[in-house]
Amino acid sequence: MQEAILEKMAGEITLSDNAGATIRKWRESFELNQSELAARLDVNPSVISDYESGRRKSPGIATIRRLVEAMVGADKERGGHVLARYHSLLNPTEGILAIGEYRRNISAPEFVERIDGRVLVTANLAQKQVQGFTLIDSIKAIASLNATDYVRVYGWSTQRALCFTGIKYGRSPMIAIRVHPMKPSLVIYHRPEDVDKLAYRLAEAEQIPLIITELEVAELEARLKAMA
């Protein structure tokens, strides 16, 4: 599994139109700041900053390999929690209809526009970034996901959109998000019958934008994947 993720990371950076942004995405996914990554590579933090901002030309294959190995190595020393989430991408649990990661950070306003979303709770929408998505069948999820499985909906990063189908009033997903320490960037409700006032209050309390989309499920999934 480790070799597979190293290849995935290196491949994304190498093939990316904006290698710096992709390096930053992976660094943030592994919960490292620029100084921590630089220390592991024995370079000045300005080197990492220059790569990510584009001030320094894209690194070569050997440097990319060192970068991704440093990120993975740091996670292993911390218990391998980020690596463990990779399992969810290979083996989605019941209730997860689709899950994916993006090569670049997508601004929340752009994301909402791409899914024809309507904003119910703004909650700093303009400052939010989306690094991935999880499309969840809320009825199956409630019936099948335990506390361990719930972590798997976050894939590689908490900076993602959690998209819930089968919504009636919308309070259950927001209650689950409220009580769990991991928080998404956005919550999307697919064609809810109605939205309970409690869902509004919880979204505002957690400062998580709450969005509605009326797309067909197949079209929503297609658009989520197209952004990748």
pLDDT, residue 90, reads 59
pLDDT, residue 147, reads 61
Angle at which helix 19-29 crosses helix 2-15, to 10 degrees, equals 150
**What span, in angstroms and rounded, lies between the C-alpha atoms of 197 and 188?**
16
DSSP 228: -
Torsion, Cα 207 98 181 195, to 10 degrees, reads 40
Task: Look at 55 and 7; give whichever has higher pLDDT.
Answer: 55
pTM, two decimals, is: 0.68
Sign of CA pseudo-dihedral 203, 208, 209, 214: negative
Which CATH fold would you assign to the domain 93-226?
3.40.1390
Banded pLDDT at 81 (limits 50, 70, 90)? confident
**pLDDT mean over 55-59:** 89
pLDDT, residue 45, reads 95
Task: Look at 84 and 72; give whichever has higher pLDDT.
Answer: 72
pLDDT, residue 105, reads 86
pLDDT for residue 179 is more than 90: no
Which CATH fold would you assign to the domain 2-84?
434 Repressor (Amino-terminal Domain) (1.10.260)
| pLDDT tens, residue by residue, 140-171 | 776 666 666 667 788 777 889 999 999 998 88
Burial of 179 (0-12, 13-18, 19+ CB in 10 A): exposed
pLDDT for residue 8 is more than 90: no
- Do 137 and 161 contact (CB within 8 A), yes or no? no
Position of tokens 């290698």? 19
**What span, in angstroms and rounded, lies between the C-alpha atoms of 30 and 32?**
6
Domain ranges of the chain: 2-84, 93-226
DSSP 153: T
